[in-house]
Amino acid sequence: MFFNIRAVGGSASWKEYFLWRDTLEKGMASGIPGADFKCKSLRGHAGKIVGLCYVGQRQVDVRPGELRSLVCSVSTDKTLHVWDAHEGTCLWRSPEQAAELTAVVSVPSLCLLASGNRIGHVSLWAVENGQCMASQSNPTPGVTSIVSIEDKFPSILIGDCMGKLHVLSLPDLERKHSATVFSDVRIDHLGLSSDKTLVSVASKEDLSGSPLMIYPTEQLLHPPEDPREAVKLPFPAASFLAACWLPLKPARLAALLCDGVTERVNIWDLQLKKDKYSTNINVADVGNITPMNSFPRGLLSCWGESVVFTASMNTLQMWDVFGKALSTFTHHREAITDIHVDGVRVVTCAEDLSLHVYTWDEVQGGHVTLSSRYSLLGGSKTMSRAFTKVVCDYSSIVGVVEGLDG
């Protein structure tokens, strides 16, 4: 466990803080019902929850008495809710919007949330009180995905259902740039590399043979005056299923692709190269994963520099980027529907209305593996269909349950 002594009040209180954090971490690792975990039901949406994120930074140096886990959800009922996960209460909800909400992202540096809806409206909300701070009034085709870029020019990237990528500045939502990535098909994936130099854009519906594109971030935020100078890198594949950037490698991308017969995970190292006259993206193949079983849900998650997770039905599979199978885990009775991965734990959810928690272990030679810890049950099949989404921070786990009525 690591923490900043200055942030917790100096050396006089570090022992007290250590004992408190040790109890917290052991509770998250042991998962004893009623002792380590209390189940809270966050009820309030009248429609299907389609977006979920934690609000603000995932702080490591939290203090006793200051522990809060705020979660934002958006729904087909046209509202956005912010919840206190520890108390199980709704702190505020937005007024009903003009159309079903489709995506949400947190902008911690500005204490804002950005949401988008089915007819293309984008809104900014103050985390503290739910006030609408700005709204994009000129409708664009429906919002499918949102990514925030927090640097000296804060912005959000918006993917829409017609294959266009839009750049809006923060906090005024001024439209800075739009680019056509695909022709008349929705953007299903937007991702930012860990060094924030590259943006990945992909569509599950594109049939042109290049469903995954890479753009330099700087080019999107500050587009060249001559469109011929624009750089984009297409990756050929029959179809796209999922992609993620490995968080501890500057620009390493894993993508789950299908050539029509075989599904595989390809891993590349990308590097932006600039000289006086041009900008290029260099690509180096790192490895590929070709499992025996298919991935019907297209689940893909990554951690560190070299760990990749996939799921096949009720089995979680752990790989290195060179294609070596590291571990498999079968702790669900029905198909896995989502995978959350962070530096402390891995959490899966499934159609059997269960969550399963794993924690990282370091073995000899600096290699890591997972230890299975416990399962949490999320309700009854008489009322609910399945878990569809799970997110986690250092003191809470939040799962989305789909009701039988949708």
Average pLDDT over residues 332-345: 94
- The pLDDT of residue 201 is 96
Contacts of 378 (CB under 8 A, 6+ apart): 349, 353, 354, 355, 384, 387, 399, 401
Do 303 and 297 touch, CB atoms closer than 8 A?
no
Find tokens 């917790």 and name the residue. 8
Residue 336 has pLDDT above 50, yes or no: yes
| Cβ neighbours for 336, distance < 8 A, ≥ 6 positions apart | 297, 299, 311, 313, 314, 315, 316, 348, 349, 350
pLDDT score, position 40 = 85
d(CA 73, CA 82): 7
- Cβ atoms of 345 and 28 within 8 Å: the answer is yes
Contact in structure between 239 and 182 (CB atoms under 8 Å): no
Q: What does the pLDDT average to over 192-201?
A: 95
Evaluate if residue 80 carries a pLDDT over 60: yes
Give the pTM.
Answer: 0.88
> In the predicted model, is pLDDT for residue 197 greater than 70?
yes
At residue 229, the pLDDT reads 64
pLDDT digits (tens, 9 = 90+) for 22-40: 665 665 556 665 555 678 8
pLDDT at 42 over 60: yes
Judged against a pLDDT cut of 90, whether residue 15 lies above it is answered with no
DSSP assignment string, 349-390: EETTSEEEEEEEEE-TTS-EEEEEEEEEE---TTTEEEEEEE
Q: How far apart are CA 85 and CA 363, in angstroms?
A: 34
With a cut of 90, say whether residue 236 has pLDDT above it.
no
Cis peptide before 227 (omega within 30 of 0): no
CA atoms of 130 and 112, how far apart (whole Å): 9
pLDDT above 70 covers a percentage of the chain that reads 82
| CA separation for the pair 207, 193 (Å, rounded) | 25
Chain mean position to CA 352: 22
What pLDDT was estimated at residue 12? Answer: 47
Nearest to 255 by CA among 3, 263, 84, 96: 263
- Interval 128-137 mean pLDDT: 92
Task: Check residue 1 and give its pLDDT.
Answer: 44
Which token pair is 91?
């702190």
Give the pLDDT score at 297: 74
333 burial (CB, 10 Å; 0-12 / 13-18 / 19+) is exposed
Does the pLDDT at position 347 exceed 80?
yes
Report the pLDDT averaged over residues 92-113: 96
Per-residue confidence at 278, pLDDT binned at 50, 70, 90?
A: confident
The average pLDDT across 251-263 equals 88
Return the percentage of the chain with pLDDT > 90, whole number.
61
CATH number of 42-187: 2.130.10.10
pLDDT score of 110 more than 80: yes
What SS3 class is residue 264?
strand
pLDDT at 59: 52
Average pLDDT on 208-217 reads: 88
- Strand ordering across the sheet containing 189-192: 189-192, 198-202, 212-216, 233-235
* Least confident piece of the model among 97-101, 194-198, 234-238, 247-251: 234-238
pLDDT score, position 146: 97
- Rounded CA-CA distance 307/141 in Å is 36
Which range (19-23, 198-202, 236-240, 300-304) has the least confidence? 19-23
